[in-house]
Chain A
Amino acid sequence: MHNRAKMTVGLAAVASIAVAAPALATGPTGSGSPSGTTVSTTTAGPGTRQLRVLDMAGAPLSALSLRPSVPQGFHVAVTDASVGDFTNGFTVSAVMNNLYATNGGSYDTSHAAGTFVPSSAVTVNMPANGALSAFGVGLDAVPNVISTAGSIPSCANLSGVAGLTDILTTATALCGVGGPLLTSLSVPAVTAVSSITKTLSGLTDLTTLPFGLSDTVPVGGGAFTDADYTSGIGAADTTGASGAPAPTSYKLLKALPVTDLTSLLAALNLPSGLPLTSVDGTGAYTTVAAFESALQATGNATLQTLVTDLAPLTGAQQAQVLNNLTGTLSTTLANLSNELGTYNAFPTLTVSPPAGTPAATYSGTMTVTMIQP
């Protein structure tokens, strides 16, 4: 008898129907324009993140046929496209209804003894290997260049360098009395946008991802101790809902921005030992224009004057002057953009009906919620 009951529990969810309907009471359905609504034809903005709950064949999951004590797997996928915000990750969590006796498409939500299998009999688990993964993650990186604090020689010294022999006559404001390079000029460290763009694609190594993946499912599985009465089939169980605690929730997939980019930087394989600037950025960390913009942005009057007074020189000459400084590349999450790819979790559900559960078909709703803080 008990075994039979377990088997029917296992068949429960297959015949279940969509359960959101009872709560859809208020609004109009359709693509019209109700109050407070306008139809738009604008193009989509950048960045989108989509949650999908799938079966193991990749189709949208509508039911899991549970057999007692036999784990049934499913697939939670979060797919990013053109995401540029790495300051917030996301979480995907799951809650579970009780499983209610099903009869001809209706559910006994009276909460009477013997009419339901408590949610606490359902456990979620993560396989020991491969529970979390990433497919085809890619991103663009435009690192910052940080010029090392240093000094630019005086015009008198620079005029002895090939290519700058006319600096004294061409850049009179720069080299004249009161000019910034009348004597050697000390320049503090300045951060500029580099002209180096690196693109990564097809990342699957979890250590190189911009998000660290994890879950909160206990090793060995976690029971849905407290049922969800807010949605699905269980929303009709008003008796159970009365005074019920918040439902037990497990994070099936949690993606937090990584704090250590060491592996990602290694994958980026950023160059080193380059000159600070060149006219168009080729063979250097950044362009003359970008670095001069950074000097202007410092608010330092002497550096701003330097930029203005360099103007009579050619671009190549300006690069020569500025390249008396050196720089290094620096990459943070803020330098990453256009992230794409799919993050996956492959949890399993297992039901273990309590002893004495009557033979019947039982159904409940699992609600999977993605939150992007």
Chain B
Amino acid sequence: MRLLSRTGAATACAVAASVVLGFAPAAQASGTGGVDLRPLDTNASAFHLSLRAGHHQTERFELRNLTASPATVRVYAATAARTSDGSFTVGGAGSAPWAAVPDREVTLAPHAAQDISFDVNRDLAPAGEGLAYGAVVLEQAHGTVIARVATLIYLTRVGPSKVVAPPPTARPKPVEPARGTTPVLSLGHAVSRPLAVLVLAVALVTGLGALLPVAVRRRRRANAAT
């Protein structure tokens, strides 16, 4: 009974722990112009993923209009770089093709939300191992002032990058004759088959024509000898 009681307590403790883990907090959002960007499927405020060569992964985020008015923002991916003081700089649109966030404007109705997914491709990322940085950028322009908020992508490049083969520069490999075919058919790759037959026929006729006078002379000599 006492043992049962302890087991029960331990079980209750385990259940409690699993419940706590089950309610992990959602990721913190950040944004501008009243629109938030929140990474999904994580409780981190950034995108964290690890990829080997030849692999890619889909990430998701939510855009949410926090205001009571329609809001338009531009969304794209960009490179990010860590500076000597540990902070980051973020590049312009189109600078990180390995994070396939379509460069586009999104208009959200008041308080509306929209989920967007994008693909992160290791083979398109900068070559090398270890961390590579990018960002999903949410941008809103007012006249000559652009406000941007960058949610970082931490890509851990596991193992060496894929070695990309150089583009083919040699001449195309000749077509091998199919097994069981003859050289004549092989010739047919270069010369049409009727033409080849005609050429052979002419050669044969010409050869026979050249031999005919010789044969006639031999026949006459033989007749004369008899």
Contacts and interface: CB of A to CB of B under 8 A. Distances in A.
Contacts of B62: 40
A49 B10 CA distance: 40
Interface stretch (A19-27, A149-157, A181-189): A19-27
A373 B87 contact: yes
B144 A46 contact: no
B114 A38 contact: yes
A161 interface: no
Given A16-B144, A48-B29, A372-B151, A39 B93 contact: no
A254 B145 contact: no
A363 B144 contact: yes
Contacts, number: 218
Contacts of A29: 72, 104-107
Contacts of A44: 29, 36, 38, 64, 66, 113
A233 B145 CA distance: 10
Contacts of A85: 28, 45
A312 to B, nearest CB: 10
A27 B102 contact: yes
B163 to A, nearest CB: 29
A307 interface: yes
- Sorting the interface of chain A by its residue count into under 10, 10 to 19, 20 to 34 or 35 or more gives 35 or more
Contacts of B27: 45, 47
A163 to B, nearest CB: 24
Nearest to B119: A36
A287 interface: no
B30 A40 contact: no
Interface string B144-157: 11111111100000
B135 interface: yes
A53 B30 CA distance: 15
Contact of B144 (A34, A36, A40, A366): A366
Contacts of A231: 92-93, 146
Interface stretch (A57-65, A129-137, A277-285, A327-335): A57-65
Interface string A221-254: 0000000001111010000000000100101001
Leading 5 A-B pairs by shortest Cβ distance: A27-B104, A230-B92, A62-B143, A45-B26, A47-B28
Interface of A: 13, 16-20, 23-31, 33-34, 36-42, 44-53, 60-64, 83-85, 88, 90-91, 93, 173, 216, 230-233, 235, 246, 249, 251, 254, 293, 296-297, 304-305, 307-308, 311, 363-373
Given A39-B112, A39-B113, 18 more contacts: A19-B141, A20-B141, A26-B102, A27-B103, A45-B26, A45-B38, A60-B142, A84-B28, A90-B30, A304-B10, A308-B9, A364-B144, A368-B145, A369-B90, A370-B148, A371-B88, A371-B135, A373-B46
